[in-house]
Every structure is written in C-alpha cells, then in structure tokens.
Structure 1
Amino acid sequence: MDQILDPPGSHLTDERRQHAEFALATLVEHGDLDRLVGLARLVGSAQDATSDDTVGRFAAIAGEGLDLLDKVNRSGIARALPAISALVEHGDLDRIVGLARLIGSAQDATGDETVARFAAIAGEGLDLLDKVNRSGLSRALPAISALVEHGDLDRIVGLARLVGSAQDAMSDEMVSRMAAFAGDALCIADRLVRNRVVDRMMALLNDESMMSMLDNIGPAIESAVQKSQTEPAPSGGLSGLWSMMKQPETQKTLQFMLNIGTALRQPSHPRS
C-alpha cells in the first residue's frame, strides 16, 4: 500500500498520504472501488470492440443529432411545446394522428378517376349554385317553406302525379276527343254570350220574385211526392175523372197551366 501511494519519485506529504489512504479505504468499504474497476473494464472492452467504422458511425449520428438540435432551436419549436403538451394531456394529439391516418388512407384509396369525378361534381355544384343565385330562387324560399309547413307541397306533388298519370293514360284518340269537346264548349259559350242568353239568365237570377219562385219549386215537388204516396189510389174511369175535375184545386191547377201556355205562345220580346 505504501508503494502504491508513494511511488518512487513522488513527493507526498504525510497529510496528503493520510487523506489518500482514507479515501481509498472509503471506496473499498462501500464497494465503489469494485464498481470503478468494472466500469474501467467495460470501457476498455468497448474500446477494444470499437472499430474505425463504428466510430465513424457514432460520429455521424452525433453530428446529425447536433444538426437536428440546431434546426429545432432555430425553428422556435420550443414555443410550441406548451401547446403540444396540452394536446398530449387532453388526448387531442391522438385524434390528430388518427385523422391524419384517415386522410392518408383516403388519399391512397383515391385514384385519378375518383379525383376527376370529384372535380366534375364540384364544378357542377358551383354551376348549379350560380344558376340558383341568378334565378332569384332565394326570394321564393319563404313561399316554399310555407308550402312545406302547411303540407301544400305534398298536395301539389300528388296533383302533379295525378296529371302525369292522366297524361300517360291518354291516347291520341282521347286527346282528339277532348280537344273537340273543348272546341264545341267554347262555341256554345260564344253563342250564349252573343245571343245575350247569359245576360238574361243573370237578370232572371237577380229578380227576387223569380228567385222566390225557384226556391218554391223544390219544396212543392217534394210535397207533391209525399202527398201522392199517402193518398189512396184513384178509382179510375170517367166517374173518377169527373170527380177530380169537379174539385176546385184541380180547376185552379189547370188554370195555372193554361196561363203558362198562353204566356209561352206570346211572341218574344225584341232583342236589344
């Protein structure tokens, strides 16, 4: 021990020698000396096993690491670390990674034909939007909303389907008949208007006495029908006819019918 601590040619004082002996004893007592020996052996083995190629690789890795560290410092990524920490803490970073994977998968699955279709659909959509804006359809949206809210749009759709079904069911012959019927109806309407028949009918309808008479016709016919059902059947023969003719009601009715016939035989009033 004295030879180790005091090799030839050394100049150690007693105090320094005692201090060294105490430190060495402490290392031996706690087992640190064995650890130092093992570490020295490990370093020596690594040095023996390390070739020039490995040293070059280590140097290249160290250089790339320093270069990356320099780029990180220059890019100011240190200012983004709080935001990245918040993303990691709340799990948003995992969602972003999942979204990136989804977008990447969609890009991988999307071919040139699909991209062309998307572009065509987008172009047609923009063209349609431009036509809608130009046509002023936005002003009709309140009315359309009201139709939808009250169910009128469904009725219009049903009416359109009914008309479409009718058109599909119509043949050329039916269309020709309907056109001829419409033409005849228009001719009749024109004649009624030219002959002032419509004006006369409107004048009669405006006459209170005529309207009262028309109102009484229906109840009179109904009363006659009910009375005919309840009265006994006539006996027939000349005696029965003579008995009916002697009744004042029968004579009054015949008088009323004769007055109508006389009025119908009179010449009509000249047209104005």
Structure 2
Amino acid sequence: MNKEIRTKEIYRQLKNSEFITIEKLAEKFNVSEMTIRRDLLELEQKGLAVRGIGGAYPSRALDVEISIDEKKVKNINKKRQIAEGAINFIKEDMTVFLDSGSTCYELSKKIKLRDFRHLNVITQDLSIVNYLKETSGINLIVLGGLLSNETNSMNGILTQLCLERLSADIAFLGASSISNDLKIFTPSENKILSKIEMVKNSKKSILIADSGKINNSNLYYVHDVKDFDLFITDQGLSSEFEKRLMESEIKYMKV
C-alpha cells in the first residue's frame, strides 16, 4: 500500500473513532511506528487530525459544541461506570450541583435509582430536569439562563447570577476536553461562568470525565484538573497521563 492510500485510510478510520493509537495503525498497515507518526503529522498539518500521546484524534473546529444526542451515545458504557463510582459520594440531605452534559446525565439516573428520602439537586441541564422532575425525595432547583439547543441546557450570565446565590455540599462537573498539561476546556464561552461558580460555591468538587476526553483541547480554558478535589474516570486512562496526575499530586479514581 502506497503512502497516499495509507493516509487516506488512516483519515477514514480517524473520522469514525474518538482516538486511534500509533501501535494499532502500525500493526494494521504493517509499517513502522515512525512511518505512522509521519503520516499523522502530515494529516495534522492539513488540519485533518490532532496528534496526542501515542496516537491521534479526529480534527474538528475547536468552538463547535457536539449535540447532546451525540454525546449521550459516545463512550456510554464508560460514562455509566463513572456515574456508578460517583454516586457513592452523594449522601442523604445533601445539596448537589449537577453540571450539564452526558456524564452528569448518567449520574442523574443513578440518583433516581437510589431512592433518596431528601436530596437537593441544582442543575441547568434540561435533560436532567426532565428525568428527575417527578422523582420522590428530590428537590429540584432549575437554573435560568440562555438556552442552548445543542446541549439542551441553560448557560451564560443569568446562570452565573443564580449560582452566586446558591451553595452546595458537592458539585459534579463534566469536561469537553482535557489537555496534556491537565487543563480543562470547553467549546462554548457561555459555559465558563457556570462551571467556575459551581466549583467556587461547593464544599467538594468532583470532575467526572471519560478517558476519551483526555489529550485534547477546545477553544476556552475553564479549570485545571488540580482545581477539583477528585477526578473520576475509567480504566482507559493512559499510563502517561496517569503519571502526570501522580506527579501533580492530583487525587483520581479509575472505575
């Protein structure tokens, strides 16, 4: 297989994957890992790929928000595992901030199954609102703001003003992407303020994000992973990234 055909095939596979490893590509095309690295560099220079540790991601516009329907099916089993780990930190009579997003939505499912006698849940995510609205024992506080049809959630300055008047025992936040240097990004500037206020106004904050979000970036920087008391992710966490977490003395849990 010549180089042109190989790079086209690599690009095709990238479009259908969240992340693909150099090792896997080298094995598939029966070439050296150095050859694959050169192919990925060429694709990145053309804006068709984003290289990460040990592989590459499909390229997309940094300020484009993926729709909530698409998010809900991506890495769904990993998100459910993360939610299973996160639910154990929620206790009776707590007040909980639930960020918008598919992983927090999976956590809301676990909340409903626990049959809490009394729990306050504060969220701007309308999917979570609709799921929990008739659940016995749940006092649901819905944040106002600018509605995003892509994410089915409220954000912006009005959401921030609501959050400034509220406090919680614990906050769970998702992430669109986490870079190699442990920074958390979002594609939407309207999400920045609400995320900052949730962490600021909670006694404990937990980042819940699957390993597919790692070694990537978006347009707007929001937090560092170290700003959270705990990072819950799945078993797909790479050894390189895990080493960075340990070096930075960041508490994390793989489920």
TM class by smaller structure: under 0.3
Relative contact order (C-alpha < 8 Å, sep 6+): which is higher? 2
Q: Which has the higher strand share?
A: 2
From the CA coordinates, give the structure whose radius of gyration is larger.
1
